[in-house]
Structures are given as C-alpha cells and as structure tokens.
C-alpha cells in the first residue's frame, strides 16, 4: 500500500457504492486471506488437496449408480459418469462456497470487530480459495475424458466464461447471505437446506431436456442451471439452450450487483452486532 495513502473512517448511511480504489490498495490482503483459507481448509488432513476432487468424484459414483443404473436417467450422449461429473464440478464449487462464505463473517468476528479493511474480502476470500478446488476437479475431469476417449470440441473455449458466471453467481449469493447472517443468525440453518434442494432444481444429475419446454425459461432464472448446462456444453460438446444460458448469465450478473449493494448497505453495522 502506498505510504502516502490516508484513510478516514467515518460512519456511513444509506446505500454505498463499492470503493474499487480501496479494494485495489488492499489487494495484497485479499491474496493473503485467500491463501489463509486454502491452508486452513487442508490443515491436518490426511488427503489434503485430494478432497477437492474426491467430493465430486464420489458423488458422481453414487449418482451414476442410483440415477443411471437404477432409475435409468440418460445423458445427452456422453457416458453418464462424464455427464454427471461435468455438472457436479461447478455445483460442488457453488454449494461449498455459498455454505462457507455465508458463515465467513461470523467465523472471523474478531477480525471484523477490531481491524478496519474492506469487509467484502472475507466472503470473497472464502470463494477464491474454493476456486482452486474447482480447477483441480476440472483436472480430474480431463483425465476422465482421456479414459473414456471423449474428444474435446471448440466449445471448450466457452469454459472461462462459464467459470466467471459461476463465480459471479456464487459471490452474489455468498455476499448477500453473509451480510444477512450477521443480523439474522438463523441464516446458517437455512443455507444447508437451500443448497440440498438446489441440487434437484438444477440439471446436475439429469439433462435439461427432461424439463418441459414451457418451463425452460423459468429454469434459466436459476443461475446455476445455465452454468451447469454451459459447463457440459464446453467440456463435452453437448447441445445447449442459449436462451436458458443467456437468462442465467443475466441473473448471475444481477445477483452479483445486488450482493455487492446489500453487503455495503449492511456493512456499517457488522462491527457493532457481530
């Protein structure tokens, strides 16, 4: 941080814009918080970073047996294990990130109440740490593609876009819930339930074509629906509805902006009531 930078802390009221200059000046702190969360996540674990790929991999095996073998749910062409894993990778990132970021302010209450820094870094740091898990899980997915001899297509170029959309949807949800959790502690009980239900209203374990045509646009209102469809399109080259994905992308951006605004609106009370 520049030595001539001077910060004046004063009470704020009403809606506040995000101070991007302040965020840039504290960028090294953000990197430290991300790295701290990575180390805490795998401290004193036997398998370490392998948990990043074991969670979606084990879930893939279970869902493949139950839904593909027993319930005869079919994919859009690729082997069902590839199909399921391509949906579970972004969904695991979203569900775990939302759960951890929503509790991040309470978990760091001593830091929030004693030191000034952009509070937005705490939930975003938790999400940034789990982004590494997503990248590791994608590494296993590419190994599975080689095992099944499933070719990559030019659609793979869309993958960075859908990773970004997943981050926006996750950050918007995490910022909103973390801010609300400071004032309403029952949020921590609601989040696990919503995450569990979200798995079934998102086409993670079944193709989007199973949803009737008249509900397809409504499906897009779920930001992770478009992300999961987009991941499969990019990784496996499966057919994708750009109408659904377009709606999901718009919802993800709106959710992120709303998360920033509501977090800033409630931020001035954090140190007093946390």
Helix (H, G, I), strand (E, B) or coil at 249: helix
pLDDT of residue 224: 96
Phi and psi (nearest 5°) for 151? -75, 145
d(CA 91, CA 89): 6
Distance (Å, whole) CA 250 – CA 245: 9
Structure confidence at residue 44 (pLDDT): 65
Give 263 or 3, the one with higher predicted confidence: 263
User: CB 217: neighbour CB atoms within 10 A?
Assistant: 13
Query: Which range has the worst mean pLDDT, 36-40, 129-133, 188-192?
Result: 36-40
| CA 83/CA 205 separation, integer angstroms | 8
Residue 74 has pLDDT above 90, yes or no: no
- 13-17, 104-108, 254-258: range with highest mean pLDDT: 254-258
Distance of alpha carbon 35 from alpha carbon 38, whole angstroms: 5
Per-residue model confidence as pLDDT tens digits over 200-237:
999 999 998 888 888 888 898 999 999 999 999 999 99
Residues 6+ apart with CB under 8 A from 17: 264
How buried is residue 5: exposed, middle or buried, by Cβ count under 10 Å (0-12/13-18/19+)? exposed
Answer positive or negative: Cα dihedral of 110, 116, 120, 126.
negative
Give pLDDT, residue 135: 92
pLDDT of 164 higher than 70: yes
In total, the chain counts a number of residues equal to: 274
CA angle 221, 155, 232 (to 5 degrees): 50
* Gap between the Cα atoms of 54 and 60, Å rounded: 10
Buried b (16+ CB within 10 A) or exposed e, 132-145: bbbebbbebbeebb
pLDDT of 79: 94
Q: Does 48 have pLDDT greater than 90?
A: no
Closest CA to 159 of 234, 249, 246: 234
Q: Where do the structural domains in the chain lie, given as residue ranges?
A: 20-273
User: Tell me: the pLDDT tens digits for 97-136?
Assistant: 999 999 998 888 888 878 778 889 999 999 999 998 999 9
Residues 6+ apart with CB under 8 A from 35: 129
**Dist CA 26 CA 118 (whole Å):** 8
CB distance 167 to 259 below 8 Å: no
Q: What is the mean pLDDT of residues 251-263?
A: 95
């Amino acid at each position: 941080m520049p030595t001539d930078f001077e910060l004046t802390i004063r009470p704020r009221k009403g809606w506040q814009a995000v101070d991007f200059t302040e965020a840039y000046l504290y960028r090294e702190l953000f990197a430290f918080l991300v790295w701290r969360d990575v180390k805490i996540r795998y401290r004193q674990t036997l398998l370490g970073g392998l948990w990043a790929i074991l969670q979606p991999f084990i879930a893939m095996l279970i869902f493949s047996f139950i839904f593909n073998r027993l319930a005869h749910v079919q994919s859009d062409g690729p082997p069902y294990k590839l199909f399921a894993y391509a949906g579970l990778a972004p969904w695991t990132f979203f569900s775990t990130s939302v759960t951890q970021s929503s509790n991040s302010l309470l978990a760091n209450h001593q830091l929030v109440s004693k030191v000034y820094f952009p509070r937005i870094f705490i939930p975003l740091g938790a999400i940034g740490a789990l982004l590494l898990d997503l990248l590791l899980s994608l590494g296993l997915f590419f190994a599975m593609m080689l095992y099944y001899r499933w070719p990559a297509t030019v659609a793979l170029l869309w993958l960075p876009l859908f990773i970004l959309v997943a981050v926006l949807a996750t950050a918007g949800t995490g910022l909103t819930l973390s801010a609300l959790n400071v004032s309403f502690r029952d949020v921590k009980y609601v989040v696990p339930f919503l995450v569990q239900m979200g798995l079934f209203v998102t086409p993670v374990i079944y193709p989007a074509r199973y949803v009737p045509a008249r509900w397809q646009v409504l499906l897009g209102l779920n930001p992770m629906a478009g992300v999961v469809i987009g991941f499969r399109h990019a990784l496996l080259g499966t057919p994708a509805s750009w109408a659904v994905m377009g709606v999901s992308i718009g919802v993800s951006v709106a959710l992120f902006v709303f998360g920033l605004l509501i977090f800033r609106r409630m931020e001035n009370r954090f140190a007093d009531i946390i």
